[in-house]
Amino acid sequence: MVERQLAEQGKSRRGLGREAFLEATWSWKEQYHGNIRAQLDQLGASCDWSRERFTLDEQLSEAVLEAFVRLYDEGLIYRGEYIVNWSPNLDTAISDLEVEMKEVRGNLYHVAYPIEGSDERVVVATTRPETLLGDTAVAMHPDDERYQHLKAAHALLPLVGRRLPFICDEVVERDFGTGLVKVTPFHDPNDFEMGRRHGLESIQVIGRDGRMTEAAGPDFAGLDRFEARRKVVERLAEEGLLLKVEEHVHNVGHSQRGGEPVEPLVSTQWFCDVSGMAARALAAVEEGELQLVPDSWNKTWEHWLANIRPWCISRQLWWGHRIPAWYTPGGEVVVARTFEEAAAKAGTEELTRDEDVLDTWFSSALWPFSTLGWPHDTEDFRTFYPTDVLITGYDILFFWVARMVMSGLHFTDRLPFRAVHLTGLVRDADGQKMSKTRGNTVDPLDLVAEYGADALRFTLTALDIPGRDISLDPERLRGYRAFGNKIWNATRFALSRVGGAEVQPSLDTAALEAPERWILSRLAKTADEVSEKLEIFRFDEACHRLYHFFWHELCDWYLEISKPALSGDAPRPQVGEVVLTVLDRSLRLLHPVMPFLTEELWQRLPGHEAIDSRSIALAPYPQAEQGWTDDEAEARIEQLIAVVTRVRSLRGELQLPASAELKLFLATEDAAAREFLAAQRVLLGHLLRIGDIALEAAPEGASRDLVAGVEVALVAERQPMGELDRQRLEKEAEKVAGEIRAAEARLGNESFLAKAPPAVVEGNRQRLAELKERHAHLVASLDEG
């Protein structure tokens, strides 16, 4: 990022000098550290800030040195000349993971290579003609009959005239192009391998700056690699050696940080052999010791680790952990933790330190234990290692997670965590991944300013669906901000109505009436489900459950049901205490997702000190109270809700104006239900805004329906059934009739009766009976009307 900024100002790190560059980088680091801290603070992250670390802190640097030296001593880190991915813009090698494959429309150039001492020519196909200047062989498949006669021959390299031997190698595909491949060991990974196998000469024609070298010849030296391509093509055409140019779509590796196409080239780098660690990391997931969530990542994990290659860990950069290697005047390598140690090992102080730094991910791989004091046996390390769960985006599964697992197993012999929860990526409006490099990030601070931290947290948590990315929809943010508003208003309302009541640490439900027992039962079940969802990392479902409970059970029903009681019109014992107690538990359940709002409100609940006198963050997370579940109360209130809802719908279907004088008839053969409904006459009147409610069968001419075993019927003054009402009722009756036909068909099926579980069959029978009864009521209503 710093280099990017410099480039925008027309500067480079080489031009700036090492010291000034490091200074600029440190100030950049300070600035971004400040930003990140501000973001975490405003989002309400409750971290242990006393243990905040930066990768270049002394403690972590010590861990990096220790890890490097140990791996070197074990023979797992080595220095060697290999082909690597070179980023000319950054002027450094990068690892395989930092190469991004992009589909590019290019050309496939067919070039004729004359055969020495013959009129024959062979044709090779290439996408990168400029590398031709560094060719040192032509390869064929050993069994390719077309070219057997050339095995002992030599081709003459166009424009250069170099004699190229023919070699045979299995990697050559006979069907691609002409079945012959030009071999450029210095500039192509495949060719590099082939060059090693066949002892080929290796010529560097493209330099680290992306320009052609002296070895490319006087006509090309100094040209940019892409200019060189044009010129080579031009020259080939002039000489009549360019036979064909086909359009060709292929994947080209691009430097993830630099953005330009990588230039594979041979250089001396430090590598880490991770094959052994990879095998252990692979086994950890296979044997279930390490859980990936969702486990659809297991296969990807397996594939990557099973095919892992040596990790190029050196970078030709100035910012990072310097590689702890020194060279004697004789060119001998000494790896040690300190200069003194190196001098002692080498027997001389005349040492030059390796200029390179380590890939930043090398230190990141040690994070879970280096931050706790490793390699020292500290109290922190003993107390907190291994950790439990890592939550992160799947885009750094290999960059970071796999490497932490590998190094954790290697250095501590334990997994750094037992589970990895992989979240989706937050994408922008175009579905593009947000990244610093792309510059399309949304600053959480802006979202916090507009919607509040609680709404943002709730939105991100509710949208964390396994295996899915998050597209940040402003509508969702608005919706969850409204939820926060709802919580605020509901609490404010409660506080104004509960008199001297206080939050209760526990409640004896025996003395309570049905509505109170109902909401406490719903609360207990909600707490139970939320805990369950959190355990299995379904944070989205936990959020939805809480949202539904608070808004649609607590606010829409319980608080409405409680209004007559709270105002004294139909008092019930301990209503205020129950309201406050339910709010207390609800706020605590919501606190991890909406920390600011819940703390603010909770502090205002009278009696919250009995739970915790300091902060809601320190109060225990509510568990399901077994004594509160009450199926009988739930059945009662559910029936009441069903009746109320049906009456409201009926009124809507009949298009009765809100001002219409109505009489409601409720009739049921269930004595207990009848008694309960009769006792709730005031409440029903409040919920339905109907003053006249009779617990008896309706007279003829009423619009009636059956719901939850209760016949509900409405009679409006001077309101004969109109054609519209008739149509609506007929539509409803026809819908029910359709369901009856479906159920009858199912129950008439011998196979169904024989093979379906008895409970399912019985369920269908009951359902059919209910449908028939309901249909009868609807028809009666129509007949009478």
Of residues 232 through 261, those in contact with RNA by CB under 7 A are 250-251
What part of residues 110-139 is at the interface with RNA (CB under 7 A)?
A: 124-128
Among 541, 553, 577, 584, binds RNA (CB under 7 A): 541
325-327 vs 352-353, strand pairing mode: antiparallel
Rounded Cα gap, residues 180 and 680, in angstroms: 91
Interior angle at CA 554, CA 552 and CA 555, nearest 5: 70
Task: Please say which residue, 78 or 304, places its beta carbon nearer to RNA.
Answer: 304
Nearest to 726 by CA among 778, 683, 688: 778
Residue 653 makes contact with RNA by CB under 7 A: yes
Stretch that binds RNA, among 442-450, 482-490, 510-518, 585-593 (CB under 7 A): 482-490
Per-residue contact flags (x/-) with RNA for residues 518 to 537, judged by CB under 7 A? --------------------
What part of residues 364-403 is at the interface with RNA (CB under 7 A)?
A: 395, 398
Rounded Cα gap, residues 38 and 27, in angstroms: 17
Residue 465 makes contact with RNA by CB under 7 A: yes
Residue 471 makes contact with RNA by CB under 7 A: yes
Among 34, 645, 682, 696, binds RNA (CB under 7 A): 645
CB of 190 to RNA, least distance (A): 4
What part of residues 1-40 is at the interface with RNA (CB under 7 A)?
A: none
CB of 223 to RNA, least distance (A): 20
What part of residues 40-69 is at the interface with RNA (CB under 7 A)?
A: none
Cβ atoms within 10 Å, residue 87? 27
What part of residues 155-174 is at the interface with RNA (CB under 7 A)?
A: 171-174
Among 489, 506, 603, 615, binds RNA (CB under 7 A): 489
Looking from the CA of 521 toward its CB, the CA atoms found within 13 Å total: 19
What part of residues 755-784 is at the interface with RNA (CB under 7 A)?
A: 755-757, 760, 763-764, 766-767, 770
Rounded Cα gap, residues 624 and 530, in angstroms: 9
Task: Please say which residue, 69 or 519, places its beta carbon nearer to RNA.
Answer: 519
Give, in order, the Cα–Cα distances in Å from 68 to each of 313, 335, 407, 408, 686: 10, 9, 11, 14, 75
What part of residues 167-206 is at the interface with RNA (CB under 7 A)?
A: 171-177, 179, 181-182, 188-190
What part of residues 403-442 is at the interface with RNA (CB under 7 A)?
A: 431
Beta strands in 492-588 (DSSP E): none
CB of 664 to RNA, least distance (A): 14
Q: Is residue 486 classed exposed, middle or buried when 0-12, 13-18 and 19+ CB atoms within 10 A define those classes?
A: middle
Give, in order, the Cα–Cα distances in Å from 601 to each of 5, 489, 493, 495: 45, 10, 12, 10
For 785, the 3-state DSSP assignment is coil
Residue 685 makes contact with RNA by CB under 7 A: no
Among 120, 341, 529, 560, binds RNA (CB under 7 A): 560
How many residues sit in the footprint of RNA (CB under 7 A)? 88
Residue 631 makes contact with RNA by CB under 7 A: no
Rounded Cα gap, residues 712 and 717, in angstroms: 17
Residue 661 makes contact with RNA by CB under 7 A: no
Residues 6+ apart with CB under 8 A from 417: 290, 368, 386, 387, 388, 389, 390
Which tokens go with 438? 């792309």
Residues 6+ apart with CB under 8 A from 755: none
CB of 65 to RNA, least distance (A): 29
What part of residues 727-756 is at the interface with RNA (CB under 7 A)?
A: 739, 742-743, 749, 751-752, 755-756
Task: Please say which residue, 103 or 669, places its beta carbon nearer to RNA.
Answer: 103
Task: Please say which residue, 60 or 397, places its beta carbon nearer to RNA.
Answer: 397
419-423 vs 389-393, strand pairing mode: parallel
CB of 673 to RNA, least distance (A): 18
What part of residues 91-110 is at the interface with RNA (CB under 7 A)?
A: 96-97, 100-101
Q: Show the DSSP H helices in 374-513 as ranges.
A: 379-384, 403-412, 444-451, 453-462, 474-497
Residues 6+ apart with CB under 8 A from 645: none
Residue 146 makes contact with RNA by CB under 7 A: no
